[in-house]
Amino acid sequence: MKGKRKNISIKTLITIVFMLSMLVSIGAIGYLIFTNWLFSAMSTTENIAEDLNENIYNQIYSFIDIPNQINETNHKIIAYGILDLNNEILREKFFVGVLSSLNNEIYSFSFGTVNGEYYGARRNEKGEIEIMKNDASTGGNSWYYSVNDDMTAGAFVVDAGKFDPRTRAWYKMSVETGGPAFSPVYKHFVMDDLTVSFACPVYDEAGNFLGVLATHILLTDIGAYLKEAVSKYNGYAIIIENDTNKLIANSMGIENFSVLPDGTLERNGVDKIEHTDLKEAYKRYIIQKNPSLLYDGKDEDLFVNVKGIHMKGLDWVVISAIPERLLIAPVAKSILIARIISIAETYDRILNRGNLPLSERKKKAIEEIKESAGKQFDPALAELFVKMMGDNN
């Protein structure tokens, strides 16, 4: 005897249709919200990357422009004879006074005369200011003195050996250009560090060449600034010399130079960057000359921004990059945790339900997770969970 077909009431049908419509609507709205949020997060990250590069550029530009301001302010004091270089006390107070008014990033402030004398002030390894002197009285050697409270020379500190400012890159560059200019990057005379100097020729009122005034900065501190600037974005920053592709500074702790056994300094290039994606992104920039790009890397995708710093004698490139997933990563982590919890809750629910022996309940829970892999559960997480529980058993 055939069974009677069970009729579904109109009310039930309406309820089912309504519930399905609600689910579809909620899903669609949720998808739109998530899609819009994802686009907004990407756009925000791109803006952060651009702002970060602009901030780094402004800071570095301001940093290396300080020597220009120092020389512009002080070279006339020598040119117009306001400072008598032969007056030792006034000379010492002048150079110490200028250097002590500046931040520690400025290593030294000096003047090399047309005859090869060299006067100025510097900071030693401890950051203490010392007076520099090199003339006939020192036998052509650079002598350094501690500084008294009245900014005059105190105790003799060290004889740094023969030194003729006219042989230095900054002096030659200034003479060749006939005006203010940055020197090429070079190894410091005393310290194992990269140095760049901004120098300007000094002429008296009759147009006679007197020598070269120079402000010298060590480049080590730039790396510390770059590291701090990108740290909260999990980003990277590099400054490269454009014409040589040699490193100036970086945020990753890469050595910008190596000291060879003979004491000479060898500069490191872009090839020393161990971050493959960042290195390849820079190569992409060299080819395309696109100052803002999203690089699809092997390990991570990066928003990369590039900006050049151009001054007389100086041509640097500031490169910064932050991960594309900067704002997405925390959400992705939360979703991953939720997926893990979902699997664990299912296992726990089956394990603590029914009167079957514990071993059977465990087996049933595992089978449920296997069957739901790829449907209810992330297949990779489900497989890992099953393996883990199997190993524990």
Mean pLDDT of 41-58: 78
Ramachandran category for residue 184: left, alpha or beta (phi over 0 → left; psi -120 to 50 → alpha)? beta
Find out whether 112 and 165 touch, Cβ atoms under 8 Å: yes
Number of structural domains in the chain: 3
Q: pLDDT, tens digit, for every residue of 223-242?
A: 888 999 888 888 889 999 99
Give pLDDT, residue 22: 66
Mean pLDDT of 151-156: 96
Q: Is the pLDDT of residue 203 over 90?
A: yes
Helix orientation angle between 10-79 and 88-100, rounded to the nearest 10 degrees: 180
Question: Do 277 and 200 share a structural domain?
Answer: no
281 assigned to some structural domain: yes
Q: Is the pLDDT of residue 143 over 90?
A: yes
Listing DSSP states for 345-390 in one string gives HHHHHHHTSSSS-HHHHHHHHHHHHHHHBTTTB-HHHHHHHHHHHH
26 assigned to some structural domain: no
Exposed, middle or buried by CB within 10 Å (0-12, 13-18, 19+), for 48? middle
206 assigned to some structural domain: yes
Q: Is the pLDDT of residue 7 over 70?
A: no
From 220, 243, 275, the end of a domain falls on 220
45 assigned to some structural domain: no
213 assigned to some structural domain: yes
Mean pLDDT of 186-203: 84
Give pLDDT, residue 338: 62
Q: Which domain holds residue 382?
A: 327-393
Q: pLDDT, tens digit, for every residue of 69-118?
A: 999 999 999 999 999 999 999 999 999 999 999 888 899 999 999 999 99
Give pLDDT, residue 371: 81
Mean pLDDT of 288-306: 85
- Where residue 37 falls among pLDDT bands split at 50, 70, 90? very low
CATH number at residue 268: 3.30.450
- Average pLDDT, whole number, for the chain? 83
Q: pLDDT, tens digit, for every residue of 313-372?
A: 899 999 988 887 754 445 445 555 666 777 777 777 777 777 777 777 778 878 887 888
- Where residue 298 falls among pLDDT bands split at 50, 70, 90? confident
Exposed, middle or buried by CB within 10 Å (0-12, 13-18, 19+), for 63? middle
| Cα 68 off chain centre by | 24
Mean pLDDT of 184-197: 80
Count of positions (residues) in the chain? 393
Residue of 14 and 141 predicted with greater confidence: 141
In the chain, % of residues over pLDDT 90? 38
Question: Do 68 and 191 share a structural domain?
Answer: yes
Token couple for 103: 């931040």
Question: Do 243 and 291 share a structural domain?
Answer: yes
